[in-house]
Structure 1
């Protein structure tokens, strides 16, 4: 079974480490055909149908056993239960596994518990391009005079200490993708390892030790950038201490006193400038004779080359209401009227919403981060106007609709006629087939002749669609008339006499 994690390992081993195919096959236990398929296709996943899903007996009971072990550890020494007693208690709850699995789990749990209580730390050192660290922080800013809590994504290169920070309205997965892409675009490359905490957007299940079940989409992003993801031990912030320190530094130097901006884009542009200025002005903690920016410039050739933007979206299924609206994240977005009646997939990016149906884009909007907001695209409702032209006057999607100047002038003139709505709907429907520039030009031509009828506009469009007249055909010299024919009605009388 070729899972996403195996594909990522194959890609990193071949493109980053430069290992031969034979060595990759021997290490990962896959065939040469599979390795060649991954390398040549440049794909980050291969879909397949799993017949059976094996589940370990201990997995579903690990959290319950953690609770029993923690409760037993908190008791006095003379009141603690033996592992046999804990095993029997777990069996009473429904566990069907053996005692050996419980004993091995408890031994690992005790070792990790002892490591957590240790107060000594080992300083870490990273080679150029070896690793980066990622984390989130919450900051308070003023946007357009309103106090807002923004989520700031932090990325830090472990060798050069180059920092990157960007503010977002959410901490969702699409924001994680966007932050990684913008950071790697700034760095012009990525590192071989990415160190982060066990955020839900990246890690689905935490196993004993370093074992993790990563989110499929997060693994695809790591495979795209040729990054090996590493999740820290829970509640062990020192494992990514550099980015933890960066959170405090950015909060103290950048967000104090409270920042005031009109939009989030202005805030992020200012943050980017501040990050670069800080790197150019401050010395590196290990290389005192160089600034952070100078060490970063020397590290750049060691980075994995930037692979381009990852299509980082979070997809969820949705249904369409009869009013051509799709609900997502407590907001509503309009879709094309032809999509009503079938399910769609909402692909949420950091700054926009793309709605697809059967692989076809049926709507695309700027993303809203409020609650109860509705985003309309009036062109989605134009086909409905053919059956209900009266909706053009009071329809919610058409309130404040800004049309091109020529079309708007015809719309105002038709408003005073009895069938003005019907004629305007005919003109708007022509946009769906002829395009907005052609209809605007036809309306301007009609107004030039002091006419504002829909029939005239449609007639102009029909004439524009007609094929051009054929080019002049050269007549051979032998067929050229030497004498112009003379009109003579007597010829017709001669033909009648012969009949």
Structure 2
């Protein structure tokens, strides 16, 4: 390709009456090139190859087209890198370079997108009215809790009109965590929008059909009905349909979670995140109404939100069997239940921060939820009927090790001393709690 200076010189010498043969001889160019430079409009001289020779790719062009077409149809996170496609071709005998494959793929992609309506990364901007909709999504973030590196699951809620954000970290992405995030998010916003936009997460969607038809999870629909929200699921692998919260994930990761956060507990982390959401809203300008902050836009949107009358009773219920040692296994840990439920089926209602165990209509246990594994959580009072029949278990029974008794019972235990007879006398006092109540027994001890 000729540089502009050479083209200008050719045109100038031709205008001065010099022949094409002489110009070609002096500049050591072909007469064909000289004529093209003279005929080029305004000195422009470019060369466009009409047919690309493919000496190496030629025999594998059909196979490469197939790989590129299949790759384009995959979700973004599952797509193959061009180095991997080159490696697959090499396994089939291809001897060309990686650059040859990369250049061909670039031309292939450009050809597919000549028509802006086919495969082009073009979108239509969306506009939401106040109180119309919110978007929900999850992200995974690395933090340090009590000196240990932990990957937490962060729930993101975003009001589409005011752009207000709420984030909260959880140990799991389970359904009860989804319920808890909605209750806390709506309380934070001061109301509930009319519509919720989700991806096809399993905690919300049971079955995905063609188009927008979905079968939503029964408990999820009950939650949506409680808040009077219309749930809407995006098309699979179409994150742009909830682009606001998708962008929020990246923004919050950079502004809140980098560098790595360090806190003593998950509760402390969530308290800090809620304060940061308020601070971010007070400092961030609304992207469309630059004269107001996100916090001011939220205050303006709040009257359009539906009132939140009460939080949803957000539990996920499963059925389990109680062992002979009055323990029920749930989420890789074991929890004690009342002795009356031993060897019987029970229903475990899991909340984000606690579990409630029911046997029929009766509540037989309630514990703070633990998220480790292989731990046993005892409530010694659950074993009191068994202890009344077997007082010797007070000394070595696992539920009674480190038992923090009320002050009056602690003093009585110390006064009675140790030994089998002291244990039996103390167990008789504990047994009175089942019939008379703890307060009455403590009053009697004080007297």
Superposition TM-score, scaled by structure 2 size: 0.73
C-alpha distance in structure 2 between counterparts of 1:417 and 1:142, whole Å:
47
Give the direction of change, closer, same or farther, for the CA distance of 1:312–1:182 in structure 2 (3 Å limit).
Answer: same
- 8 Å CA contact 1:166–1:179 kept in 2: the answer is yes
- 8 Å CA contact 2:392–2:420 kept in 1: the answer is no
C-alpha distance in structure 2 between counterparts of 1:299 and 1:234, whole Å:
30
C-alpha distance in structure 2 between counterparts of 1:324 and 1:238, whole Å:
50
C-alpha distance in structure 1 between counterparts of 2:239 and 2:315, whole Å:
28
C-alpha distance in structure 2 between counterparts of 1:383 and 1:244, whole Å:
54
Per-residue deviation, 1:415: 3.3
Partner of 2:143: 141
- 8 Å CA contact 1:187–1:300 kept in 2: the answer is yes
- 8 Å CA contact 2:152–2:171 kept in 1: the answer is yes
Partner of 2:205: 203
C-alpha distance in structure 2 between counterparts of 1:402 and 1:413, whole Å:
16
Partner of 1:372: 374
Give the direction of change, closer, same or farther, for the CA distance of 1:76–1:175 in structure 2 (3 Å limit).
Answer: closer
Per-residue deviation, 1:118: 3.6
- 8 Å CA contact 2:318–2:349 kept in 1: the answer is yes
- 8 Å CA contact 1:224–1:307 kept in 2: the answer is no
Partner of 2:430: 428
Per-residue deviation, 1:226: 0.4
Deviations 1:136-162 (A, max 9, x none): 001111111000000000000000000
Partner of 1:258: 260
Give the direction of change, closer, same or farther, for the CA distance of 1:76–1:134 in structure 2 (3 Å limit).
Answer: closer
- 8 Å CA contact 2:162–2:286 kept in 1: the answer is yes
Partner of 2:294: 292
C-alpha distance in structure 1 between counterparts of 2:377 and 2:275, whole Å:
33
Give the RMSD, CA atoms, in angstroms. 1.8
Per-residue deviation, 1:309: 0.8
The question of 1:402 aligning with 2:404 is answered yes
Per-residue deviation, 1:408: 1.2
Partner of 2:278: 276
The question of 1:162 aligning with 2:169 is answered no
In the TM superposition, 1:43-192 aligns within 5 A as 74=66, 117-192=119-194
C-alpha distance in structure 1 between counterparts of 2:248 and 2:173, whole Å:
18
SS at match of 2:409: helix
In the TM superposition, 1:240-255 aligns within 5 A as 240-255=242-257
C-alpha distance in structure 2 between counterparts of 1:386 and 1:134, whole Å:
52
For this pair of structures, how many residues does the alignment match?
338
C-alpha distance in structure 2 between counterparts of 1:146 and 1:289, whole Å:
43
Partner of 1:386: 388
- 8 Å CA contact 1:173–1:314 kept in 2: the answer is yes
Partner of 2:54: none
C-alpha distance in structure 2 between counterparts of 1:416 and 1:146, whole Å:
41
C-alpha distance in structure 2 between counterparts of 1:321 and 1:116, whole Å:
61
C-alpha distance in structure 2 between counterparts of 1:405 and 1:265, whole Å:
29
C-alpha distance in structure 2 between counterparts of 1:386 and 1:332, whole Å:
23
Give the direction of change, closer, same or farther, for the CA distance of 1:116–1:229 in structure 2 (3 Å limit).
Answer: farther
C-alpha distance in structure 2 between counterparts of 1:153 and 1:307, whole Å:
22
Partner of 1:226: 228
- 8 Å CA contact 2:322–2:344 kept in 1: the answer is yes
C-alpha distance in structure 1 between counterparts of 2:260 and 2:68, whole Å:
49
Superposition TM-score, scaled by structure 1 size: 0.66
Contiguous gaps of at least 5 residues in structure 1: 1-70, 78-113, 446-499
SS at match of 2:152: strand
Give the direction of change, closer, same or farther, for the CA distance of 1:76–1:414 in structure 2 (3 Å limit).
Answer: closer
Per-residue deviation, 1:339: 1.0
Partner of 1:267: 269
Give the direction of change, closer, same or farther, for the CA distance of 1:344–1:265 in structure 2 (3 Å limit).
Answer: same
C-alpha distance in structure 2 between counterparts of 1:190 and 1:416, whole Å:
60
